[in-house]
Amino acid sequence: MIATTRPESVRRESPLFVAFELSQKEWKLALTSGFQERPWLRTVAAGDMEAVGRVLAQGRARFGLPATAPVVSCYEAGRDGFWIHRALERLGVENRVVDSASIEVNRRQRRAKTDRVDALKLVAMLVRVWLGETRAWREVRVPTADAEAARQVSRERTALTQERTALSNQVRGWLATYGARLPRRRAEGWWTTVCDWAGAALPASLQERIARAEARFALITTQLAALDRAQRATVAAAGAASAPQRLMQLKGVATTGASVLVDEGLVWRAFRNRRQVGGLLGFAPTPYASGEVQREQGISRAGNARLQSTMIQLAWQWVRWQPFSPITQWFHAHFGPGKRSRKIGIVAVARKLLIVFWRWVTAGVEPAGAVFKTA
C-alpha cells in the first residue's frame, strides 16, 4: 500500500474514529483520524459516558479536528448489549455494533491477545469500513428498545423449558442409580411409592432430594403457565394484519412459535432479501473445494440458536399439517423413510419455511398450498 498525503483542508473534514474494547471494569478506547495518524489509546471506567465524552473532545483536539467534527465508533456485540449504542447515539456518535465472529484474526497457532491489541485492530478495521470496504466485518442489526424488551418473554420461556427438562433428567438419573425408573404419571408424593431394584423403598435422603426437585419443578411449571398466558394476551391484542396474527392463521403454527419468530426479528430486522433471512437462521452448507479436492463439511450451525430450534419444530409441524405445500411435497420426494435422511432434510425445510414466513408477514405473499385455520 502506498501512503498518500491529504491536504490539510481534507484532513480536517474527516471524522474521528473510535473503537471500544469493553470489559467489566474498564473500557479501552482507540482513537484516530485515519491511517495517516497513529492511534491514541485511552482508558475509562466501564459505563462512564461522561468520561467517554471528555475523551472524544480531547481526541478531536489531539488530531486537529474541529469541535463539530463527526465521530464514528464501533464495539463488539457481547454481554453489554445495546445500551452503549443508544448512549453513544445520544452523544451524537455514529456507532456500529460488530459481530465478533466476523472479525478477521491471525491464523498463527499462537497470537498476542490483549485489550490494547484488540482496540488497535478494531479501529483500523473501522477506518477500512468507512473508506468503503464492505467485507471487512459483519454488523449487528440493533433492535429498538421496545423490540429488545419484547424478547424477554420468549427467551425466559425457552430458558425455563430447558431448566425443566434438565431437572427431569436429573431425577431420572438419580432413580437409575437405584434401578428404578421415573413414572410417567406422577401423583403428589410419588417418590414415596417408588421401589429400588430389590423392591425396597428409596433411601430417605434421596426421597428428600426428589421432593425438593419436585418443588422446583412445580414452580417452573407455574411460571411457564404465566408466560404462556402473557404470550397469548400479546398475540390477541395485536391487530389482525400484524405479524403474529398472520403466522397464527397458518395451520401448524401456534402462539409460542409465532412469538419467537417475531421477537427474534423476522420483522424489525427489516431484511432486504431472502439471503439475509437465511443468514440470520444459518443452517447453510459448508463446502470445501480446493484444487481437485471437493467435499461437503456438513451443515453450519452458525446463526440464531433460538430461531434454529423453533424453526426445526415448526418444520416438522409444517410437514405434518401442510400436505399440499410445495415444501412438504419436495421434502417427501427428496427424503425417503430413512430416519437420518429425514433429519437432514428437515433442516432444509426450516430454511425454506422461514423465507416463506418472512414474505407472508412483510409483503403479504400467501404461502403456496397453505392450509389456513378455520375460525
pLDDT of 4: 40
pLDDT of 8: 41
Give CA–CA dist 256/110, Å, rounded. Answer: 45
Q: How far is CA 353 from each of CA 86, 278, 283, 289, 301, rounded to the nearest angstrom?
A: 33, 10, 12, 28, 17
pLDDT of 5: 41
Query: What string of pLDDT tens digits covers the 375 residues of the chain?
Result: 344 444 443 344 689 999 999 999 999 999 999 998 999 999 999 999 999 999 999 999 999 999 999 999 999 999 999 999 999 999 999 999 999 988 888 777 677 788 899 999 999 999 999 999 988 999 999 999 999 999 999 999 999 999 999 999 999 999 999 999 999 899 999 999 999 999 999 999 999 999 999 999 999 999 999 999 999 998 888 888 899 999 999 999 999 999 999 999 999 999 999 999 998 898 888 888 888 888 888 888 888 899 999 999 999 999 999 999 999 999 999 987 778 889 889 999 999 999 999 999 999 999 999 999 886
Give CA–CA dist 213/225, Å, rounded. Answer: 18
Architecture of domain 8-130: 2-Layer Sandwich (3.30)
pLDDT of 287: 85
Give CA–CA dist 182/174, Å, rounded. Answer: 9
Contact (CB, 8 A) for 195 and 201: yes
Q: Label each residue of 190-251 as H, E or C.
A: HHHCCECCCCCECCHHHHHHHHHHHHHHHHHHHHHHHHHHHHHHHHHHCCCCCHHHHHHCEC
Question: How is the chain split into domains, by residue range?
Answer: 8-130, 150-237, 244-363
Give CA–CA dist 17/251, Å, rounded. Answer: 51
% of the chain with per-residue pLDDT over 70: 96
User: Whose CA is closest to 350, among 285, 255, 278, 263?
Assistant: 278
pLDDT tens-digit map of 126-166: 999 999 998 899 999 999 999 999 999 999 999 999 999 99
pTM of the model: 0.84
